[in-house]
Chain A
Amino acid sequence: MRPACRFGLAAGLAALVILLGACAAPGRTPHEEPDVDSRVRQPARADSAGVQVYSLKNKAVVELMEKAKDAEKRGHLNDAAELLERAMRIQPTNPELLQQMAEVQLGRKDFQQALSFSQRSYEIGPRVGEICSRNWRTTSVAREYLGDRKGSGEAERRAGQCMNTKPSSY
């Protein structure tokens, strides 16, 4: 192939990649950090008044979760994730812990992992109340940043339903 042709092909491909990138990211740019407090925790707390489900807490896990919160406040999100992972070795199926990890992942802009942890938290959690609302709001924000606007809206709707108590399917 002649150099001119090669250059033309490369330029065309680059333009196509940029164009596709623009089409595939209708949501927020991943450079902006989502404000986890204002988009997940505060609204979940606000609309969950009266519907609360608390899981049994292990003091060791609580200690690690508190340390993780402090680390998160200081902006040390990797440290927070590490502390939560340590807590998960003690209680791997604590929905609150999984949800806190989802929110830390949201802050780290690892949206796929935020989705995974919030889904897992929802599946093993109470599926009502504040934690349910946080599960779906995290999902909504993560989907939004991943460019799935429809999915994000659907998750927002599910967050609203967390206040309707529903018999467990177990």
Chain B
Amino acid sequence: MAKRKKKTVRRKAVARKRKVRWIRGIWRLGLLVAGVVFGLLLPWVIYLNHVVTSEFEGRTWDLPSRVYARPLDLYPGLPLSMSNLLLELNAAGYAQASIARTPGSYALRGSAVELFRRPFQFVDGKEGPKRVLIRFKADRVSSIRDADSDRQFDLFRLDPAEIASIYPLHRQDRVLVPLAQTPPLLITGLQAVEDRNFKHHPGVDWRGILRAMVANLKAGQAVQGGSTLTQQLVKNYFLENERTLSRKVNEAIMAILLDWHYDKGDILEAYINEVYLGQQGALAIHGFGRAATFYFGLPLNQLRADQVALLIGMVKGASLYNPRRHPERATRRRNHVLAVMGETGLLDKKQVSDARARPLDVSAKPSSQANRYHAFIDLVRAHLASDYQEDDLKTEGLKIFTTLSPWEQELTQKMVSQGLAALTEHGLPAGLQGAMVLADVSSGEVRAVVGDRYANRDGFNRALDARRQVGSVIKPLVYLLALEHTSDYNLMTMVEDAPLTLRQADGTEWAPANYDNVSHGPVTILEALTRSYNQATVRLGLNIGVSHLLRKLQQFGVETDAQPLPSVILGAIELTPLEVAQIYQSLAAGGYSVPLRSVTAVQTSGGKLLSRYPLRLLPQPRREAIAVLNYALTQVVENGTARRLSALLGSAWTQQRPLIAGKTGTSNDRRDSWFVGYTADRLGVVWVGHDDNSPAGVTGSNAAMRVWARLFKELPLQSLDLRMPDGAHWVWIDASSGKLTGENCNGAVQIPFVVGSEPAASTECLRAMGHGDEESFWKKWFEKNE
């Protein structure tokens, strides 16, 4: 008995010992867990908390700057053919449709175009969406009418094409939209579809996860996700897109922390701007703001319910439901979202059925196509470099308004490319390179730039960076300087086109020859210029002084460090096509120089004006001499070295016979071909040659002029106005003797003169009319009438 008792006591003691050991074990385990929690997990949570708060607190997105073309002002009488308007619309991302039903679309109506303008916030105010019918007659706009009310417009401004974006390094494209400007249906619809309990859960929705698990188990595959909007934001914003348990744990912890620290509105706004919604080449489209323009060509607040539903649907899989690639799948997804909107009372039945009945209405291509017009964008960057850091352009979301004319740029690219290819038909080598600058004469606004025969190639930009000898293109400045010396020169002054030899600074001799290797003897200044005689020009230039010539270049806005050597007179000076355009702008605008401009204004992403680059006229002295020179340059085209231009222009010439001024240029050994030509409103400069500067067999008229003509025959040609300013006038001259004569006398031609430079001698015919040889006859007449 006692033995049994002893046994029982021992058993109890063992049991007690076991119990103590077990409690001790649990205690130790508890301590271990607590140690792990406090030692590892807590610091991890603290670290994640730091990540969440520090990154989310000062959250900023790098926003690319948008570059816009000039807005096109349409008005009755505008010289613009229907085909050129279509070029403009296509460049601006307008989609052709059978009916122009949505902003950003157009339809052809016989000889008219119906278009639905997109709304746009201009520097000087907002233009809303509007559907109009534009009619054409003889390559001009004849009327613009409101397609709904038939009201006639005297002026109608199109929204400008977005021609480029300057992207941050991470290649994300985004338009920031504040929550307050987000359509309410997007905010509520997003929650209805993606996270119904968003307002109430603490960042993670346990019930949602459970529901998703059950649904997935039932279906035998993943059909439902349990991630909240907060978790999705955390995944996109902070984490990599890997499918691991640790990532899920981090996501949940960070979602809870985010929800704990921040307002639901902040989280939603971040989500709306962060979510991935598509891809354009290497660029990722993030946020609903950019997605709205990318898929519909519209700002977010202009979208209809069906369009909002499509974008919400795409959150589940932007690639899977890409409406351009998989329209049927995207339609099904959109309709599902619309159904959810109906179930949750966000839309009524009729709204849902109306929205479901609509086609996707996605633009055929993004309104902002991948960066085009590289050569022009280089010019924009160069223009802005003085006022903006490159980093600002990549991250601040600036709106940059430029002077580019999309239809003219498209035509210029095409004609340069085709024109260079066609030169082989005239015996010139294949593979010649070329560049062209097209500018508005009066405003100096650059309308188009081409820097490569393959315009879409983003590389060496010859229009801005190729410094090449300009040849005879510089000669007009020599003659301009002469015409400014009224006591010595006028267009009828004789100069000697005879051989001459000059000793140069290095001791070598230089004997310039004419292109045809013939010396033409005494010729008028007018003839020497129009025929581009080298020997006569060098003699004239030496009389004027080479340093004056270099100063004139600077006066016209071109910086050069060239030495004042006699060879400069014949263009042994290297300039870029853009610099040549700058020189001739001053001439073409009658001496009212304007620095060539590619940018007119810069706004912040919110629409606040940062910089304006307005038109500023810089009147040149002696504009009367420029007016006289302009006449001489029309003679280059009429009967000088560019006389074949009329044949190249074909019907564009014969229909109107416009006055065009121009100058050919060829460098030594026929390495460079230049042509500069201008009408009343357009100035075009073309260069053609080999990149390695090897002889190319080109001349100004056999290469560059052909390219110029190819483009200008497609442009409206406005005849030059040769009205003389104060200080110059037209005088009747006897063509053979260069003496003053009467209008009705034989051989009388009208030539402009700077007042005081008229010939002294008169013909017998004029004397018979009662006027004698009076040195300052015209001067006196002019002074009397002042």
Q: Residues of A at under 8 Å CB distance from B?
A: 58-60, 62-64, 78-79, 81-83, 85-86, 88-90, 92-93, 113, 115-117, 119-120, 122-124, 166-170
- Chain B residues whose C-beta falls within 8 Å of the C-beta of A166 in the assembled complex: 785
Cross-interface CB contact of B614 among A64, A85, A122, A170, cutoff 8 Å: A85
Q: Which of B69-77, B416-424, B510-518 lies at the interface? A: B69-77
* With A60-B73, A60-B154, A169-B728 already in contact, 20 other A-B pairs whose C-beta atoms are closer than 8 Å: A58-B77, A60-B75, A63-B155, A64-B155, A82-B123, A82-B614, A83-B124, A86-B73, A90-B78, A92-B442, A115-B619, A120-B619, A122-B726, A123-B725, A123-B726, A124-B723, A168-B723, A169-B726, A169-B730, A170-B724
* Contacts A59-B154, A60-B75, A78-B612 given; does A88 touch B619 at CB 8 Å: no
Main secondary structure of the interface of B (DSSP, over half): loop
* Contacts A60-B155, A170-B724 given; does A89 touch B619 at CB 8 Å: no
CA distance A168 to B728 in the complex (A): 11
Q: Would you call A123 and B623 a contact (CB within 8 A)?
A: yes
Q: Would you call A93 and B730 a contact (CB within 8 A)?
A: no
- Chain A residues whose C-beta falls within 8 Å of the C-beta of B70 in the assembled complex: 89
Point out which of A64, A82, A169 has the most chain B C-beta atoms below 10 A from its C-beta: A169
A102 to B, closest residue via Cβ: B617
Give the Cβ gap from B156 to chain A, nearest Cβ, in Å.
Answer: 9
* Contacts A82-B124, A123-B725 given; does A88 touch B615 at CB 8 Å: yes
B681 touches A (CB below 8 Å)? yes
Q: Would you call B76 and A59 a contact (CB within 8 A)?
A: yes
Give the Cβ gap from B591 to chain A, nearest Cβ, in Å.
Answer: 9
B441 touches A (CB below 8 Å)? yes
- Chain A residues whose C-beta falls within 8 Å of the C-beta of B726 in the assembled complex: 122-123, 169
Task: Show 14 A/B contacts (Cβ-Cβ < 8 Å), sorted by A.
Answer: A60-B76, A63-B154, A79-B124, A85-B615, A90-B73, A90-B78, A92-B440, A92-B441, A115-B619, A120-B592, A123-B590, A123-B725, A124-B723, A170-B723
A-facing mask of B491-522, CB < 8 A → 1, else 0?
A: 00000000000000000000000000000000
B618 touches A (CB below 8 Å)? yes
A-facing mask of B606-630, CB < 8 A → 1, else 0?
A: 0000001011111100010000000
B729 touches A (CB below 8 Å)? yes
- Chain B residues whose C-beta falls within 8 Å of the C-beta of A119 in the assembled complex: 619
Q: Would you call B616 and A113 a contact (CB within 8 A)?
A: yes
- Chain A residues whose C-beta falls within 8 Å of the C-beta of B440 in the assembled complex: 89, 92
- Residues from 440 to 464 in B contacting A, C-beta threshold 8 Å: 440-443, 445
- Chain A residues whose C-beta falls within 8 Å of the C-beta of B619 in the assembled complex: 115-116, 119-120
CA distance A170 to B445 in the complex (A): 29
Give the Cβ gap from B733 to chain A, nearest Cβ, in Å.
Answer: 16
B721 touches A (CB below 8 Å)? yes
Cross-interface CB contact of A90 among B75, B623, B723, B785, cutoff 8 Å: B75
Cross-interface CB contact of A92 among B124, B155, B616, B681, cutoff 8 Å: B681
4 closest A-B pairs (Cβ-Cβ)? Answer: A92-B442, A60-B75, A59-B154, A116-B617
Q: Would you call B725 and A93 a contact (CB within 8 A)?
A: no
CA distance A25 to B440 in the complex (A): 37
CA distance A83 to B442 in the complex (A): 16
Point out which of B615, B730, B782 has the most chain A C-beta atoms below 10 A from its C-beta: B615
Q: Would you call A93 and B442 a contact (CB within 8 A)?
A: yes
CA distance A66 to B601 in the complex (A): 23
A-facing mask of B130-169, CB < 8 A → 1, else 0?
A: 0000000000000000000000001100000000000000
CA distance A81 to B601 in the complex (A): 13
Q: Would you call B443 and A89 a contact (CB within 8 A)?
A: yes
B724 to A, closest residue via Cβ: A169
Point out which of B76, B440, B619, B782 has the most chain A C-beta atoms below 10 A from its C-beta: B619
Cross-interface CB contact of A116 among B124, B618, B721, cutoff 8 Å: B618
- Chain A residues whose C-beta falls within 8 Å of the C-beta of B76 in the assembled complex: 59-60
- Residues from 730 to 786 in B contacting A, C-beta threshold 8 Å: 730, 782, 785
CA distance A93 to B73 in the complex (A): 17
A164 to B, closest residue via Cβ: B785
Give the Cβ gap from B769 to chain A, nearest Cβ, in Å.
Answer: 18
CA distance A90 to B77 in the complex (A): 10
CA distance A168 to B730 in the complex (A): 11
CA distance A30 to B358 in the complex (A): 63
Give the Cβ gap from A38 to chain B, nearest Cβ, in Å.
Answer: 26
CA distance A78 to B445 in the complex (A): 19
CA distance A162 to B478 in the complex (A): 36
Cross-interface CB contact of B443 among A60, A64, A78, A88, cutoff 8 Å: A88
A158 to B, closest residue via Cβ: B786
Q: Would you call B443 and A92 a contact (CB within 8 A)?
A: yes
Give the Cβ gap from B718 to chain A, nearest Cβ, in Å.
Answer: 10
A92 to B, closest residue via Cβ: B442
Give the Cβ gap from A62 to chain B, nearest Cβ, in Å.
Answer: 8
* Contacts A63-B154, A89-B443, A120-B617 given; does A82 touch B612 at CB 8 Å: yes
Give the Cβ gap from A10 to chain B, nearest Cβ, in Å.
Answer: 30
- Chain A residues whose C-beta falls within 8 Å of the C-beta of B123 in the assembled complex: 82
CA distance A120 to B615 in the complex (A): 13
- Chain B residues whose C-beta falls within 8 Å of the C-beta of A79 in the assembled complex: 124
B592 to A, closest residue via Cβ: A120
Q: Would you call A167 and B730 a contact (CB within 8 A)?
A: no
CA distance A82 to B443 in the complex (A): 13
Give the Cβ gap from B572 to chain A, nearest Cβ, in Å.
Answer: 34
CA distance A113 to B619 in the complex (A): 10
Give the Cβ gap from A110 to chain B, nearest Cβ, in Å.
Answer: 9
Point out which of B76, B614, B724 has the most chain A C-beta atoms below 10 A from its C-beta: B614
- Chain B residues whose C-beta falls within 8 Å of the C-beta of A117 in the assembled complex: 617
- Chain A residues whose C-beta falls within 8 Å of the C-beta of B443 in the assembled complex: 85, 88-89, 92
CA distance A86 to B76 in the complex (A): 16
A117 to B, closest residue via Cβ: B617
